[in-house]
Amino acid sequence: MGQFFFDKILQNDGWKTNILIATDSNGVITSITESNKINNAQHIKGLAIPGFQNAHSHAFQYAMAGLAEVHNITHTSDDFWSWRDAMYKLALSVNPDQMENIAAMLYAEMLRHGYTNVAEFHYIHHDKNGDHYDNLAEMGSRMIAGAEKAGIGITLVPIFYQKGGFGKDATDGQRRFLSADIDCYLKLLESSEIACRTYQHANIGLGIHSMRGVEPTLIAEIAKSGPQDIPFHIHISEQLKEIDDSIAYLGKRPVEWLLNSIDLNDRFHLVHATHLTKEETKGIASNGANVVICPSTEGNLGDGLFPLRDFQLANGKWSIGTDSHVGLNPLEELRLLDYGQRLITHKRNTFTSESTGNSGEFAINMATQSGRKAMNNFNPHYFAIGQTLNVSIIESNSPLLATCSDNNLASTIIYSADPSQQNGTISNGVYMEKGKCAQYDKITSDFISTLNELKNR
């Protein structure tokens, strides 16, 4: 059990002062009261906001962050597809122990930046030869073990990956990813769900790599006949080549086909969705589906800019993710998302709605609520009895924040704060000073050993 006294905490209806929150042994909130007495509670100094939700992660790619930036100047182009070749080399080399060490380090760093939950879009399932492990979910189990070491909440999304492109067989470089058919994938999903039971803060989602990665008719089939009570994640319309190939193979753009073939709802999370027509943008929003935007990765890969303004005008819902983890700062993700829109629309009111013009509060609300849906958490309240306590704590004594009115606090955090102002993180009811988990030093040592073994840096 725990008790935490917050000097200032953001609730859905605004900032509250002197709030006492009690939790049970699992970090679940049992009471929230106003109090002027700290008594035996842990005093949480700073500005408390909901823990950030990282709705899209490929943990293994953290091991190659920064390594794809030395370019051969004799080449005319270095784009997503050349980056993917480098990513495949890493995917073919990592073993289960190394995967666990990479995941633990990544998740520990997420916590240090204020993330408290992650949706792990996981597709390295098999051994280096492409053969099944005795435990179908061996590699997914290592993701869960890494999350438990760090203390972050994880939604494991084992990915159905079958093809090498529209109408193309998979390549040898994809051999660790593949499930031959729906039955094979559902066995993997079942094994992954069992693995999630080993950690009380783990749960399961369903994932399709992409429309180019799975025969589209099978995507429609599993969307209709597969589990209906867990999130459904899919990469879509990230690259222009993907759209051209889809038109050539299906006669339709990827999202156009999806809207015509699947009954979307708010359990669907379309990752990237960078290149959309106005009709597709409105269609996603009107069906209640969510888009997961990963600005630092999309910028790094040269993907393009999601049409956020049109999507929001249609009441579209979105969350953020760090994908390849070239950046791990949620504030940076939100700023990149907003500033990209300001640059192409020449307007500054990106993060607004009919109910609020406060950009900071809007960004926190959208990223929190839609991000939680990606984790199968539909609780709209930032902090509520019966909900696990997850908090990002920002230093309140920095010059800009120390002088802020409540109306300007959230926006000053979103637009001016940096990682040095992360005063702490509470994940699943466990307080981490400066966001550093209890095993941080051991996790770091194991990670460095793993990278030295991989010799990829």
Catalytic residues: 272, 323
DSSP H or E run through 159:
strand 153-160
In degrees, rounded to 5, the angle at the alpha carbon of residue 374 between the alpha carbons of residues 370 and 377 is 80
The b-or-e profile of 82-118 (16+ CB within 10 A means b, else e) is: ebeeebbebbbebebebbbbbbbbbbbbbbbbbbbbb
d(CA 208, CA 187): 15
Tell me which residue of 113, 104, 13, 93 sits closest to 53, measured CA to CA: 113
Residue 99 near residue 124, CB atoms below 8 Å: yes
Q: Would you give the DSSP letter of residue 378?
A: -
Q: What is the DSSP letter of 353?
A: -
Q: Is 35 exposed, middle or buried (0-12, 13-18, 19+ CB in 10 A)?
A: exposed
Which DSSP symbol is given to 131?
P
Q: Please, which residues have CB within 8 angstroms of residue 257's CB and are 6 or more apart in sequence?
A: 211, 216, 246, 250
Dihedral over alpha carbons 286, 291, 295, 300 (to 10 degrees)? -110
Among residues 430, 427, 424, 428, the alpha carbon closest in space to that of 7 is found at 424
Which strand ranges, in their side-by-side order, compose the sheet holding 391-394? 29-34, 14-23, 2-11, 42-50, 391-394, 422-427, 430-433
CA 115 – CA 50 distance, rounded (Å): 9
Among residues 80, 178, 167, 82, the alpha carbon closest in space to that of 127 is found at 178
Question: Percent helix, strand and coil across the chain, each rounded to 5?
Answer: 40, 20, 40
